Structure 1
Amino acid sequence: MPTVLVPAYCPGAAMVRTVSDLRTARPDWAVLVVDDGSGTAYDDRFAQARAAGAEVLTLPINRGKGAALKAGLAHVLATRPGSPVICADGDGQHALADIVAVGERLLEDAGARRIVLGTRSFDATSDGHLVPLRSRVGNGVTRWLFTAATHSRVPDTQTGLRGIPADLLGWAGTVPGERYEYELQVLLRAGRSGIDLDPLPIATIYLDDNSASHFRPVVDSLRVYAPLLAFLASSLAAFVIDTVALLVLQALTGDLLVSVVGARVTSAGVNFVVNRRLVFDGERRVRTRTAAVRYAALATALLALNFLLLTALGAAGIALLPAKVLTELALVSTSFAAQRAFVFRAPATFTGSPQGQPTSPTDASTTVDTTSR
């Protein structure tokens, strides 16, 4: 039977209602609440969750939503092997029927390598009100960047309602990220790990204009967008180097092929070093020689596409500089997806417990109440 994992930081009464409703609707499902260092002021709230039938795992300090989720996944791995996990927020913004629906979809094919995503519509909430502006804009920008980076479309990249099969809990625990960026990192890494994303429409609920959310619009948005923005910055730097070298070599030689090759060799070296050390440093590290060979193969393919596009645009009467800009814009998302999925990808491990996370109820950094299941 599945375990419903609820990360909670300074929760309101909605968290207790979520636990109580779940235990009533699905008494055979376990509920695990992770107290993400809320402090003693919230002891009574978590005591109410225990009384409602939840197990509570307490982290001594606030570490972020990603860390809380990974601590919960590690605990399920250690104490309920074989149990799939449904991650659900405890702020009342996931309807009971939707949590149950995600769990039932997950159980339909428990052995499938897929993550079930409860996906919201951002046109309007389920009661007919407008979705808060920051949520509409944030989700829209993230969807666009995600599609540009991965060439796949996910209707709701920031949903907290997800179903994870038991066989993928170890993998999910190794995905980097401690705070809100963790959930996007899971989606970014799923495709290259051969894991499908299975969207399931759910109700769109925002209570009191999402006032219960602990999401910090500036700081946490930067964390979420960091992997994509870092790559775009690296690509911009490489573009500037590549373009300047192309224009100089074209002026000196008058040969487009020589100019394109010379410029790309110059910029590719810089791009490889920057991406390996800064952009994809959070990945499982692949050997430099292996990454260099893969990068050379990718760069050769992109170089051929670059030359063909420049030639076609030139034949259409477009000047070299605007043709170069259009060509790079067309290829940047392909380059990101290929580097993440191929160049800097090391073999993933799916055995054992997530690194750095508690593996048993006796881990010194956590407190677990096991009186209620």
Structure 2
Amino acid sequence: MIILIPAYEPDQQLPALIRSIREAEPWATVVVVDDGSGPAYRDMFDGVKALGCHVIGYAQNRGKGFALKTGFGFIADHLPGRSVVCADSDGQHTIADILRVAAAVQGDAAKSDATKSGAAAMVLGTRSFTGNVPARSRFGNTATRLLFTLATGERISDTQTGLRGYPASMLPWLRSVHGERYEYELNLLLEARQAGYAIKSVDIATVYLNHNSGSHFRPLADSARIYAPLLKFLASSFTAFLVDTVMFLILSAASDSLLLAVVGARAVSSAVNFAVNRRMVFRHGRDKPAARTGVRYFGLVVVLLAANFGLIAALEAASVPALPAKLLAEIALLSVSYVVQQRYLFSRTTASWPTAREVDAAAAGETSGERPANTHIRA
């Protein structure tokens, strides 16, 4: 088992965490990524190195997602075949919880190897958010959890946890997922199912030191990055919903046929929704042939339309007015639409995932003409 710790301008909580790991597991392998903290923090990372850690890094701050992928690349190249537990550097994760997540990952990996079946799983250290929790942390996790559930239909109680475990087999995929900053960890949750990976949880303590003053999270900029994948889909769906509702009301007024109103409105709104989702919402939508994907999309539309019609008819039979019935039906089917589109219609195929070499080249700026990241290793 390897413990991977990304760190940007860390305080004394980082060496304290390393010492706790050394006391509990003297032979544990620890990899620390200096996310461009700068010369002022060289002594801090030299001290961490003296505690027996591998220390790698680069000159400029690139974000937590980039730091994690840099760590995964180092582990894949130099310490292959071992599972990884990622922990934050600010003291929010106790050594007991880190080891609990590590045990869950190792146990799951061993079980999968023994049975030769079952999907590999990432393990989340899940906090209960009880006690003295900073307001921004409580609000942030609640908002992300609700948006995630609304868009995907899946319930994950702690979408923002930084304590996560991954089996060795997941490393190539982890390095290929989009995102360089805090949005990266949410993207992992959004793409895990379509990539064939399960998500499991282990309860951990909720720890915030000095009201989380050591965090480098920027509430506005980083929240926008985190919520972007979900908000884009919800905005696209809301736009289509407005088009659909207006057309539904127009056709309902012009005709006594509920079927005509529902079908006509959906034909117009689905064309708008397909174009927006393919080009703006799902990253890999443009990679898919428009004609073939369009046929599949409208096949989904037919299925959802039938479900929509059935729900509206059932609600109207229960004396619910047409417009409220329409709203309730759309909300009920929203998460179904997202899951199918994200996992099947606009998902990337395994063959389109970049190779480790391509990921390394992109990280160093070689594929875009940027200046290399000046990655250095102190091990």
Structure 1 and Structure 2 fold alike (TM over 0.5): yes
Q: 1:281 Cα shift? A: 2.0
Q: 1:284 Cα shift? A: 8.7
Q: Deviations over 1:131-184 (max 9, x none)?
A: 111111111111122222222222211110111110001111111111111111
Who is 1:365 aligned against? 373
Distance in 2 between the 1:197 and 1:122 partners? 20
Cα pair distance change 1:254/1:168, threshold 3 Å? same
* Letter of the structure 2 residue corresponding to residue 153 of structure 1: R
Deviation above 4 Å: which 4+ runs of structure 1?
358-361
Who is 1:45 aligned against? 44
Question: Could you tell me whether the CA contact under 8 Å between 2:3 and 2:86 is conserved in 1?
Answer: yes
Q: 1:65 Cα shift? A: 0.4
Structure 2 spans left out of the alignment, 5+ residues = 113-119, 367-371
Question: Could you tell me whether the CA contact under 8 Å between 1:173 and 1:354 is conserved in 2?
Answer: no
Who is 1:161 aligned against? 163
Who is 1:116 aligned against? 123
From 149, 152, 174, give the equivalent of 2:151. Answer: 149
Question: Could you tell me whether the CA contact under 8 Å between 2:5 and 2:89 is conserved in 1?
Answer: yes
Cα pair distance change 1:284/1:247, threshold 3 Å? closer
Who is 2:226 aligned against? 224
* Letter of the structure 2 residue corresponding to residue 82 of structure 1: G
Q: Secondary structure in 2 aligned to 1:292? A: helix
| Greater relative contact order (Cα < 8 A, sep 6+) | 1
Question: Could you tell me whether the CA contact under 8 Å between 1:75 and 1:359 is conserved in 2?
Answer: no
Distance in 2 between the 1:283 and 1:185 partners? 16
Question: Could you tell me whether the CA contact under 8 Å between 2:284 and 2:346 is conserved in 1?
Answer: no
Distance in 2 between the 1:330 and 1:358 partners? 43
More helix by share: 2
Distance in 1 between the 2:88 and 2:186 partners? 16
Who is 2:349 aligned against? 347
Q: 1:365 Cα shift? A: 2.9
* Letter of the structure 1 residue corresponding to residue 121 of structure 2: R
TM-score, length-scaled by structure 1: 0.92
Distance in 2 between the 1:360 and 1:274 partners? 29
Cα pair distance change 1:168/1:359, threshold 3 Å? farther
Question: Could you tell me whether the CA contact under 8 Å between 1:176 and 1:282 is conserved in 2?
Answer: no
Q: 1:282 Cα shift? A: 5.5
Structure 1 spans left out of the alignment, 5+ residues = 125-129
Who is 1:183 aligned against? 185
Q: 1:288 Cα shift? A: 2.3
Who is 2:115 aligned against? none
Who is 1:68 aligned against? 67
Distance in 2 between the 1:198 and 1:12 partners? 31
Q: 1:301 Cα shift? A: 0.6
Distance in 1 between the 2:319 and 2:99 partners? 59
Q: 1:279 Cα shift? A: 0.9
Q: 1:369 Cα shift? A: 3.2
Q: 1:326 Cα shift? A: 1.9
Q: 1:277 Cα shift? A: 1.0
Distance in 1 between the 2:349 and 2:189 partners? 18
Who is 1:330 aligned against? 332
Distance in 2 between the 1:134 and 1:102 partners? 25
Question: Could you tell me whether the CA contact under 8 Å between 2:86 and 2:163 is conserved in 1?
Answer: yes
* Letter of the structure 1 residue corresponding to residue 123 of structure 2: V
Cα pair distance change 1:351/1:322, threshold 3 Å? closer
What is the root-mean-square deviation in Å for CA atoms of aligned residues? 2.1
1:88-127 alignment, distance < 5 Å? 88-110=87-109, 112=112, 113-124=120-131
Q: Secondary structure in 1 aligned to 2:359? A: coil
* Letter of the structure 2 residue corresponding to residue 368 of structure 1: H
Q: Percent identity?
A: 48
Q: Secondary structure in 2 aligned to 1:121? A: coil
Distance in 1 between the 2:167 and 2:291 partners? 35
Who is 2:369 aligned against? none
1:57 aligns with 2:72: no
Q: Secondary structure in 2 aligned to 1:334? A: helix
Q: 1:12 Cα shift? A: 0.5
1:294 aligns with 2:302: no
Distance in 2 between the 1:150 and 1:77 partners? 31
TM-score, length-scaled by structure 2: 0.91
